[in-house]
Structures are given as C-alpha cells and as structure tokens.
Amino acid sequence: MVATFWGVRGSIPTPGYETSRYGGNTLCVEVGFPAAGRTLIIDAGSGIRRLGDDLLRRPAPAQGISVDVLLSHTHLDHILGLPFFQPLYRRSTRLCTYGPAASAEDSLEQAIGGQMSYRYFPVRPVELAAQITYVDLREGALELGDGIRLSATYLNHPLLCMGYRIEYGGRVLCTAFDTEPFYNLFITDPADPRYDEAMAFEGEQAAQAAAVRLQNFLQGADLLIHDGQYTEQEYRAGRVGWGHSSIEHAIALAEASASRRLALVHHDPMRTDDQLDDLAERYAGLRKESGVEVCFAHEGLSMGL
C-alpha cells in the first residue's frame, strides 16, 4: 500500500502564502495498491480535485478509471471536492462510494447529492456521466476484493463518523478523523445539583469501554492517520465536544495501540506553515519517548507500507 496525501487541512480550505508548504486543501488521502492496480480514496475534501486530474494523466486501463471512495463522514470539508473530481464526468469511470448513513431516511446518496443541489452547484447528480454506486456502511468488516479487507468503526464526532482499518498483504493502515477522546456524557461534578453518582459512574464506564474498543480497532497499525487539530492546551480551553483531537492524545493513542507510524492531519485552518513547523519541533521530544514515528502530514507526502 502507498498512502499519498492530497489534502491535510481541516474545516475549510486555506489557500495562501502562509499555508503553501503543508497545503491548504481539505482532507483527501489516496491509498494505492500498485500490485493489484486498485485505488482507494479516503475523503473527498478539496484535495480530491488535484488527485482526479492526476488520475486522468496516468496510463488509463482500457475499461476506464475505477476507484473506491471511503468517506469518514459527510461534513462539508470532507465532501466538497467531489463535484470537481473530473473522472466523474467520464462515462467509463466507475466510482463506488462508502460511508456512514446517519439514518434510514438520510442515506449516503442523499447526503452527497444534497450539496449538488442546483441551488449550490450548477451540475446536477444526474449529469455525472460516471457509474456511481453508494454503499451505506455500518460498523463491521467487508472484503473489497484483491485481498483488500476494510473494517469500519464509529468515532466520537458531532456527526456519525467512521474510522477505517485497511488490511492488505500483511500491512495495516488505519484512519481516525474527525474524532476526539470519548468522554463521560453525564455530569461529573458532585457540586452540580444535577449530579447523579450512578449515572456519572455509568458514563465513565461507557467512555472507557469505547476508548478501549477504538484502541483495539487500531491495534498494530503500520500507519495511523489521526486527527491532530489542536494542542492539548487548546483542546482543554473550550474545545471539548467539537469533535477533534489534540496532538498529545493522537500520540498517546498511537503508542497504546502499538502503531508504528502516526501521520497527523486535519490541521487547524488557523495554523500557518511556520506554526506547524514549530509544533513539529515541539513534539519531537514526545515522539522519541513513545517510540512512534510521528509526522505532521503535508500535501504531496507519500508513505509506503
């Protein structure tokens, strides 16, 4: 497997001279399987536009481009690039889209199609020439063929959001964005008049169980691509519940799950290249202690595993 980053930014595209080195495109990771001739794309943020153009430049198979797109969730920053993915306008393209469906009434196809409403975008889904199929995912595992195994698990985000585990040729690639640590949903402060000891205890148990489940899901990843939008200090200063992790949490989870390498993504849109460089330097000590190889992913970064 080869993971290539086409977009690493969170929340909103941030073009400009201050973000040109890490890149301003929102999330899109290509996972290539050169031996099997397969391409899998995780998330369709603005980074997918350039990936689409690149796919069209590559020697095309006679039957046309065939890709699988795994969507972590349908927040706009993770799907807004899809209408600009040029292979969609070729009749020979086959695109299979996987993602979590919020409910039976709100399918993945409706969520994706919604942004292509004529009100927001001049091309309607029916005008896309490609053969597009949608697969509503639940937690579990499925075979994608050619020995590629996909597992999905729910993360902790304000919207239903999936983490993925891709296994191929004895190697493991995992993704966990957008997500934050599982926390107790009940009132934990005994001074609060609404505090209920039994409920607080139950909430604590549930949060711990969910954390262990995720850690097991990520176990032994050769590469973990994880949300690292904030520093722990930023996260604690009023950002709990926003659905994103601190760099410290991502490193601790990579270590606990015995992951070999950690690539941090979903960089805060406020963060400049220089600030990301500073963070990379600041966390250099932490990564040495943990034994996990950590990097702040940038556009164009390719990692073989």
Question: Which positions lie near Zn ion, rule CB under 5 A?
Answer: 10, 75, 77, 178
Decide whether 179 or 259 has the Cβ nearer to Zn ion. 179
Q: Report the b/e string of 244-263 with b at 16+ CB within 10 A.
A: bbbbbbbbbbbbbbebbbbb
Q: How far is CA 82 from the centre of its chain?
A: 15
Q: What is the maximal distance between C-alpha atoms in the chain? A: 69
Decide whether 113 or 269 has the Cβ nearer to Zn ion. 269
Output the residue with the shortest Cβ distance to Zn ion. Answer: 75
Q: What whole-number distance in Å separates Cα of residue 17 and Cα of residue 76?
A: 24
DSSP 80: T
Decide whether 167 or 180 has the Cβ nearer to Zn ion. 180
CB atoms within 10 A of CB 229: 28
Length of the chain (residues) = 305
Decide whether 93 or 229 has the Cβ nearer to Zn ion. 229
Decide whether 89 or 182 has the Cβ nearer to Zn ion. 182
Decide whether 8 or 130 has the Cβ nearer to Zn ion. 8
In whole angstroms, the minimum distance from the beta carbon of 156 to Zn ion comes to 11
In whole angstroms, the minimum distance from the beta carbon of 148 to Zn ion comes to 25
Using CA atoms, how far residue 37 sits from 32, 83, 169, 172, 189, in Å, is 8, 24, 14, 18, 55
In whole angstroms, the minimum distance from the beta carbon of 51 to Zn ion comes to 17
Q: What whole-number distance in Å separates Cα of residue 143 and Cα of residue 38?
A: 13
In whole angstroms, the minimum distance from the beta carbon of 302 to Zn ion comes to 22
In whole angstroms, the minimum distance from the beta carbon of 42 to Zn ion comes to 12
In whole angstroms, the minimum distance from the beta carbon of 199 to Zn ion comes to 28
The CA dihedral of 261, 251, 30, 15, to the nearest 10 degrees, is -130
